Structure 1
Amino acid sequence: MTGAADISNFAAFLTAALLACGAVTTLIGALGLLRLRTFYERAHAPTLGTTLGTVCVAMASIVYFSTLGTRPVLHEVLIVIFVAVTTPITLLILIRAALFRDQSEDRGTPATTAENEHR
């Protein structure tokens, strides 16, 4: 059995709310990936969605398993730290690589490219 019947209503509600918040945040980031035009715009939305979505899902896991086990479960904090550190660094490396590619191919900077696309 899953043990879901063994937790309090408050903990179940808090877990469900955190999971829903994480899912919605991640969905908004994914929609930003689909909706935005340039690579530079697209890179930002999923990064924020992934980071905040992971934090919410990890918090839900902490609440659920801490309540179920009657002791604090903090393994998920390592996941949050790893995602919070690596996601912005990955974004920075991707943006710098794209910027280097654009400059080496003489396409201009992202600001001038975005201005030309809106015209």
Structure 2
Amino acid sequence: MADVLAVLLLAAGCFFVVAGTLGLLRFADLPTRLHGVAKADNLGLGFITAGLVVHALAHGGGIAGGGGGAGGIVAKLVLVWLFALLGTAANSHLLAAPARPEPGAEEKPEREPGPGPGPETTPEPEAPATREAP
């Protein structure tokens, strides 16, 4: 029964990680991309950690070898998850800070509205001005 629960938790975690990756690819601007991937990946990693904790407790900690038993493995898994939560928050903040507009700055459109210069609309060069003879 514990193995079924562990597999379900791992599958749910993988689902959220994939959903976060799709959010990173599909959302329009940087803040929403970071929000989507950070929230979904944190939740996915939480489910994966829970699945691994259930597996470690059910099998007495025999999956990693070494000392500490199941309690040591659970503590390490929870610490890894907590460090990932803190790292994701800090990284998202640092990545979004340069893209944030300064207070009071006007937002300018990326380009002026209307037809821009292009191969079809380039004006012909003007002939040099000549003086008429008197």
Specify if TM > 0.5. Answer: yes
- Structure 1 length normalisation: TM-score? 0.72
1:79 counterpart residue number: 80
Among 11, 14, 38, which residue is 1:23 paired with? 14
Alignment of 1:25-104 (within 5 A): 25-69=16-60, 71-72=70-71, 73-74=73-74, 75-99=76-100, 103=102
Distance 1:44 1:83 in 2: 15
TM-score, normalised with respect to structure 2:
0.65
Percentage of pairs with the same residue: 24
**Secondary structure of residue in 1 paired with 2:44:** helix
Distance of 1:39 and 1:65 partners within structure 2: 38
SS at match of 1:108: coil
Instruction: Name whichever structure is richer in helix by fraction.
Output: 1
Instruction: Report the CA distance between 1:107 and its aligned residue.
Output: 7.5
CA RMSD of aligned residues (A): 2.3
Q: Which has the higher contact order (CA 8 A, sep 6+)?
A: 1
Alpha-carbon deviations, 1:26-63, whole Å to 9, x = none?
Answer: 11111111111112221111101111111111111111
Q: Distance in 2 between matches of 1:27 and 1:81?
A: 20
Structure 2 residue runs of 5 or longer lacking an equivalent are 62-69, 111-134
In structure 1, list runs of 5 or more residues that go unmatched.
1-9, 114-119
SS state at 1:37 partner = coil
Give the aligned partner of residue 12 of structure 1: 3
Over alpha carbons, which structure has the higher Rg? 2
